[in-house]
Structure 1
Amino acid sequence: MSVQNTDGATAAAAAAVTDTAAVTDTGAVTDTELLERFRPVFDRIAEGALDRETTRRIPLEEAGWLRDRGFGALRVPRELGGSGVTLRQLFLLLIELGAAESNLVQALRVHFRFTEDRWRERDTERGKLWLRRIGEGAIVGNASSERSGNVRGQTNTTLRKQGDKLLLNGVKYYSTGSLYSDYISVAVFQGDGERVTALVPSTAEGVQLLDDYSGFGQRTSASGTSTFTDVEVDPDAVIAFDRVFAGQVAIVQLVHLATLAGIVRRAVDETAGFVRRRRRSYSQASADLPREDPQVQQVLGRADAVAHAAAEIVLGVAAALDRASDARFDLRTAPREQRTPEAEARVRALELDAELNVYRAQTTVIDLVLRTTTEIFEVGGASALDESLHLDRHWRNARTLASHNPVIYRERQLGDYLLNGTEPLNQPSVGEAPGLAPAADDPAPALVVVS
């Protein structure tokens, strides 16, 4: 993060970032170049963070600043209008944006998942079509989750032919980022029972987007209700669900971890600024001023170490995802004689390793960040609770993100793999337990895709 401390030092300790060149099929760009390009925008976004928290103003204008700089097209190859960065570099920037405004990272999470899926097929006409749109500034939002239904089930949302039209109908909840988007990715079962993604313009007739999310954190992530009433869908904008490879879904969880790394960075920097200004102390204190108190220094020193460690963990896992993604594309596009069972096994091993690393990171980063966003209050007594500081938002936001895909299940999967070699289920969904009668107001089963 590049928010400035009161003494003019860079709060995020930017010197720790290496000038690593990212080489893709489209050229190279360094970390330094990317940070110089986006940090001014991140700083500008960070300036209004407390006001947005107070008024619950969705940062739509701020999202526009990112769009103008090509943030949504970071992974798009250069020849298709993007920057061609690696996943590691994308996550470097997501951490910094998370420090400036964590809601924006969450809002763009499905956009980057959709972009990555198209990146994997960037040699195809469909892949090129959507990557060009994203390169031109298009943002893709999410409408996957439904409130009830069978944990193994289908969707209440339907996509059916009516005459010569293909019509979408249904209600989705937790539609993160929908209000920021140009297109909405809707998870749905077609009339023949096939699970697909239907992409519809967010401004299409029959689309209604609400900001009615009621969670106590991440309040401006635009995670509300989406209603689709006879929305006409272009048949070319219907994408079937292909086989999911290990690591492919893990990217969406890693986005949450990048956001958490940004949150704890911001929490540490704001708390340090509070301590520097603080004049009140205790008779039991070891120094006259809090900033000179060894125990206060220890609290912040430990918190700073957590912020750095969380970022490094995320970047290390992102680099593993890079290797797996590159290997999968190379194998898919290799001559037939090179696509051997042995080559497939090598790629699958990379993908599985990357996915397991995400789960390991999840259990570690979440624990560290939640403890740290609680412990920062030890430095200031009741003064640190002042609502004008909004230091509580860091714990609330972290707790909200930590509740996605609960850690207890990840830890069990890791243990099962360690003991029995059982590979994690990498396409989870949630809903009502199998065998339960459907709720009266929700007569059909519903799929709630991983959040």
Structure 2
Amino acid sequence: MTTLSDVGTTQDAPTTTSLLERFAPLLEHIASGAVHRESARTLAYDAVARLAQAGFTSVRIPREHGGPGASLAQTLRLLRELAIADPNLVQALRAHFTAVEVLLSGPDSERRGRWLKRIADGAILGNATTEKGNAPGTNSTHLLDRNGQLVLTGTKYYSTGSLYADWIQVHADTVDGRSVRATVRRDAPGVEVLDDWDGFGQRLTASGTARFDDVAVDPQDVIEAPRGGPGFTAAYVQAILLVALGGIAAAARRDTVDYVRGRTRAFAHGVGESASRDPLVQEVVGRISSSVFAIDAVLDAIGERIQQAAARQAAGGLDATETQELDASVSEAQVFVVEQTLDVTNRLFEVGGASAVSQGRGLDRHWRNARVLGQHNPVIYRAREIGQHQLTGDQRTTAIYVGAAGAQVPATTPGDPA
């Protein structure tokens, strides 16, 4: 049977079922260590390396470049499964999968082919985009020409995934005011990446500070930074966060069911002979499961819409209005998925007593991780933009960017925010 995620693939492309079966053992292994990594705050170097070695990080690469050629929607589906195992890894690899999609949607070139081969061979890309104190759409990190050698200098914050990466894509400005993206090796002289992210959730995303001290840059690895305009990339970047949330909700359901089934104690004032037979507990689990079903349905629909938009862009037919409609749909999905996932990860504690809050069980990690993911591109702004468009029709959702409050917003904004 053909699924939504199979639409748009070629006859030789893998099916969603075959991809899920291929990576299931690896994802099960990653899931088995998730609670320990969280409690010990052990960065997931081994898990990321295994994902690269198994071809998970190159699943989107076309066959002619050494990959299996999975579709965009299939990739989002696989990332949702990875999030069930460990949502930290989905966010840590967001820049990598976004970079792959940007390459695939760009013109055929020697640079494109070179990077697709590197990724097919297992290379992982991180990002260094966000800064403190800069105006929106600008960078205090600079790419300079020193005696004929391009060098990168500056400091970035929230460089998600870069500690796990082989290469880091760095947004910088030039002396003549251009914004560029320079890609450098993580282990290059002058590059320092710190694990100083102190959030109470998503602790293992390696979202720390990145410093660049006169780092030599190959001119071949410098391109103009994408600017605003028609395209599906911003929607795809947001969708990766949403599938991470969807994975958290599904994992919370799994752990709730396992917890209840394993309970041998019952409250004297309960209404069932066991926790599994208690109608009140059954209702809680039923509501959780219903929410997960709805979240999955929304994520399937969004994956299909983004894939269709990518196909239209490749054919030269994706215009500004269609881009705005896609972004609005993803924003509507964001409001729903964030709120429903937070409800699931909070509601699960109603099925038990004090044992449910044992640190050894790690059930709290689901809420903490969901709450931190929900802070990205805050829901209050997205909900307001959606409401304004519905009521007045005079504005749709806009590109996501951050910067110093009160700073001048440029006329064009990055098309693939971090």
Match of 1:257 among 236, 242, 265: 242
Would you say the 8 A contact 2:91–2:240 is kept in 1? yes
| 1: CA distance, partners of 2:231 / 2:257 | 40
Answering whether residue 189 of structure 2 is matched by residue 217 of structure 1, we say no
Q: Which amino acid aligns with 2:249?
A: V
Q: Which amino acid aligns with 2:142?
A: T
Q: Which amino acid aligns with 2:403?
A: G
Which residue matches 1:203?
A: 187
Answering whether residue 169 of structure 2 is matched by residue 185 of structure 1, we say yes
Which residue matches 1:386?
A: 358
Cα 1:66/1:127, change in 2 over 3 Å? same
Identity %: 40
Which residue matches 2:327?
A: 355
Displacement of 1:238: 0.8
Displacement of 1:20: 5.8
Alignment partner of 2:315: what SS? helix
Which residue matches 1:329?
A: 314
Cα 1:435/1:64, change in 2 over 3 Å? closer
Q: Which amino acid aligns with 1:140?
A: L
Which residue matches 2:210?
A: 226
Which residue matches 2:28?
A: 43
| 2: CA distance, partners of 1:76 / 1:422 | 39
Displacement of 1:283: 2.0
Would you say the 8 A contact 2:83–2:247 is kept in 1? yes
Displacement of 1:376: 0.3
Q: Deviations over 1:251-294 (max 9, x none)?
A: 11111110011011111111111111112222221112011001
| 1: CA distance, partners of 2:384 / 2:176 | 36
Answering whether residue 360 of structure 2 is matched by residue 375 of structure 1, we say no
Would you say the 8 A contact 1:146–1:173 is kept in 2? yes
Unaligned runs of 5+ in 2: 409-413
More divergent stretch after superposition (235-244 vs 294-303): 235-244
Answering whether residue 418 of structure 2 is matched by residue 433 of structure 1, we say no
| 2: CA distance, partners of 1:219 / 1:161 | 37
Answering whether residue 140 of structure 2 is matched by residue 156 of structure 1, we say yes
Cα 1:227/1:54, change in 2 over 3 Å? same
Q: Which amino acid aligns with 1:376?
A: L
| 1: CA distance, partners of 2:401 / 2:161 | 19
Would you say the 8 A contact 2:98–2:236 is kept in 1? yes
More divergent stretch after superposition (415-424 vs 248-257): 415-424
| 1: CA distance, partners of 2:133 / 2:166 | 27
Map 1:83-98; keep pairs closer than 5 Å: 83-98=68-83
Would you say the 8 A contact 1:246–1:352 is kept in 2? no
Would you say the 8 A contact 1:73–1:135 is kept in 2? yes
| 1: CA distance, partners of 2:223 / 2:5 | 35
Displacement of 1:348: 4.0
Cα 1:122/1:289, change in 2 over 3 Å? farther
Displacement of 1:74: 1.6
Answering whether residue 43 of structure 2 is matched by residue 28 of structure 1, we say no
- Taking structure 2 as the reference length, what is the TM-score of the superposition? 0.94
Count of aligned pairs between the two proteins: 411
Displacement of 1:93: 0.6
Alignment partner of 2:361: what SS? coil
Cα 1:270/1:109, change in 2 over 3 Å? same
Map 1:42-441; keep pairs closer than 5 Å: 42-121=27-106, 123-150=108-135, 152-244=136-228, 245-331=230-316, 344=317, 347-424=319-396, 426-434=398-406
| 2: CA distance, partners of 1:19 / 1:121 | 25
Would you say the 8 A contact 1:169–1:228 is kept in 2? yes
| 2: CA distance, partners of 1:116 / 1:110 | 10
Displacement of 1:23: 4.2
Alignment partner of 1:211: what SS? coil
Would you say the 8 A contact 1:246–1:426 is kept in 2? no
More divergent stretch after superposition (317-326 vs 245-254): 245-254
Displacement of 1:310: 1.2
| 2: CA distance, partners of 1:350 / 1:154 | 27
Displacement of 1:378: 0.3
Q: Deviations over 1:215-266 (max 9, x none)?
A: 0000010001111000001111111023432432121111111001101111
Which residue matches 1:442?
A: none
Cα 1:265/1:91, change in 2 over 3 Å? same
Q: Which amino acid aligns with 1:373?
A: T
Displacement of 1:296: 0.3
Unaligned runs of 5+ in 1: 1-15, 332-343, 437-446
| 1: CA distance, partners of 2:172 / 2:4 | 43
CA RMSD of aligned residues (A): 2.0
- Taking structure 1 as the reference length, what is the TM-score of the superposition? 0.87
| 2: CA distance, partners of 1:421 / 1:393 | 40
Q: Which amino acid aligns with 1:159?
A: L
Alignment partner of 2:30: what SS? helix
| 2: CA distance, partners of 1:178 / 1:422 | 39
Displacement of 1:326: 0.8
Would you say the 8 A contact 1:26–1:77 is kept in 2? no
Alignment partner of 2:111: what SS? helix
Displacement of 1:312: 2.0
Alignment partner of 2:233: what SS? coil
| 2: CA distance, partners of 1:20 / 1:193 | 42
Would you say the 8 A contact 1:247–1:426 is kept in 2? no
